[in-house]
Structure 1
Amino acid sequence: MDNRQESTIKSLVTNLNEKVGNLFKYHGEIAKQLFLTDGFNIEGRVDISAERKYLGEILKYIPDSLKIELVDEHCTTTNFHEADFSTIQHANIFEEDNLIMTIIVYDVEDEMWMFRWNHNIRLPEKHIYFHSIKWDVDYIKPEIVLMYELLEPTNYHKIPNYRSVLDALSYYQFMTLRTIVGDDRINQAVRFEKRVI
């Protein structure tokens, strides 16, 4: 990542934290970093997660210089008038051709968060995240981050530090993850990570 792109990402994160920080939670690598070390280092693409009803408000604070792609199960579009916001799975934010942020959309019904890949898997929404007092940000719990990463249909193997996150999970967190994704996916990710290291 070059200095300009890093500066753009940091500026975007600062702006979103200041303007709509209460409407989203950090996801992906940053969530894992916050869980493991209470660190908040922006060193590449940033993933955040937001309830569907807040997506439009968050997107208002993405600078016009960046390209926004709305993605659902069937298509990707940059035209907000064509998009059906009720089916958007995530929004990708690009600087030129470089993906710098993904906003993962989740649904809530009767105050229950629903897992995107299976709406029968539900948790009270207030139980899907932790809060970092040091950084004053919310972040998705690691077992939920891993649910998304391990069940994502494309290239979940590219994401590092599964072993350290798995080792830091409580028994309840690990059993929740294991019940949802299964032993095979967990073991496959750990084996792949060992080969890369």
Structure 2
Amino acid sequence: MNNNKNVKTLVNRLNEKVGNLFKYNGEVAKQLFLHDEFNLDGKVDISVERKFLAEVLKYIPKTYHINLYDETQSTSDFSEIEFSKITHANVFDQNELIMTVIIYDVEDGDWMFRWNHNIRMPEKHIYFHSIKWDVDYVKPEIVLMYELLDPIDYHQIPNYRSVIDSLSYYQFVMLRLVVGDERINQALNSEKKAI
């Protein structure tokens, strides 16, 4: 219960100080898309453009522990990792993972998919805005691109079927183009087994 309160406190601080510099990702983004619910009862994922990473991280109080990751290592020493190679950061409250900060790159105003920089779209098209909660969140097809292909352990309840069923035709085609039918089917089958 205490860590849940700490997650909410951290999220409120980030929203207040740098809410315009990040977008909600993961389970929070999926729930905003599916139900317009802003549920902060578990781990929270956010996405930040690389050039704003330091600005966002500086508002995370020192009482939390931050680990930075690239494709080969993790470290809490910011001088030991090449900034351009960072893929994400995990924020811990004592030993509990409470937030993942996913880094994305933008070139000439276009968001670039991490594993294939030929997959691009205008950055302003990678997210929706919740009027009810006044927050930005990553579009569900992009959330699923990363969840279905990314080795990051998101610690989330699989709800691929409900998200996929709610995608528009264009969103589904985009997801399918990037991850392929086989990976979508594997995810749906693994979700069935988990339920």
TM-score w.r.t. length of structure 1:
0.95
The partner residue of 2:182 within 181, 184, 188 is 184
Q: Which amino acid aligns with 1:127?
A: H
| Partner residue in 2 for 1:68 | 66
Unaligned runs of 5+ in 1: none
| Partner residue in 2 for 1:143 | 141
Unaligned runs of 5+ in 2: none
Ranges of 4+ aligned residues in structure 1 off by more than 2 Å: 153-159
The alignment covers a number of residue pairs equal to 195
Aligned 1:76-155 pairs, distance under 5 A: 76-153=74-151
d(CA) in 1 for partners of 2:163, 2:189:
14
d(CA) in 2 for partners of 1:113, 1:195:
34
Identity %: 67
| Partner residue in 1 for 2:53 | 55
For the pair 1:37 / 2:43, whether they are aligned, the reply is no
Shift of residue 80, structure 1, vs aligned partner: 1.5
Change (3 A) 1:157 1:39: closer
Shift of residue 120, structure 1, vs aligned partner: 1.3
SS at match of 2:80: coil
Q: Which amino acid aligns with 1:28?
A: G
Shift of residue 170, structure 1, vs aligned partner: 0.1
Q: Which amino acid aligns with 1:173?
A: Q
